[in-house]
Amino acid sequence: MNYKTYIYIVSVLLSTFAISGINFSNVFRKNKVVEAKILVVLLSIALGYLVGTFAITFIECSKII
C-alpha cells in the first residue's frame, strides 16, 4: 500500500474518534439507535476523506516548493 492509503485510514479513524465525542441523543428520536450509528459512520468517512485529501494535497504541494 502507498502512503495515501495509510493517510486515509488514519484520518477516518481519527474522525471516528472525534465524532464519537458528540452527543447525538438530542438529535434523534428514541429507539433510533441504528440510524444514529449509520450517521456516525457516514460522517466519519466523509470527514476522514476530507482531512485525508487535505493532508495528501499539503504533502504533495510541499514537495513542489
As a whole number of angstroms, the distance between CA 12 and CA 23 comes to 19
Q: Which of 42, 63, 52 is nearest to 14 (CA)?
A: 52
CB 16 within 8 A of CB 47: no
Cell of 29: 428520536
> What pTM did the predictor assign?
0.82
Question: How large is the average pLDDT for residues 13-41?
Answer: 86
CB 46 within 8 A of CB 11: no
Q: What is the chain's mean pLDDT, rounded? A: 89
Range of 46's domain? 3-64
Residue position matching grid coordinates 495515501? 4
As a whole number of angstroms, the distance between CA 65 and CA 15 comes to 29
Q: Residue 35 pLDDT > 90, yes or no?
A: no
User: How many domains does the chain fold into?
Assistant: 1
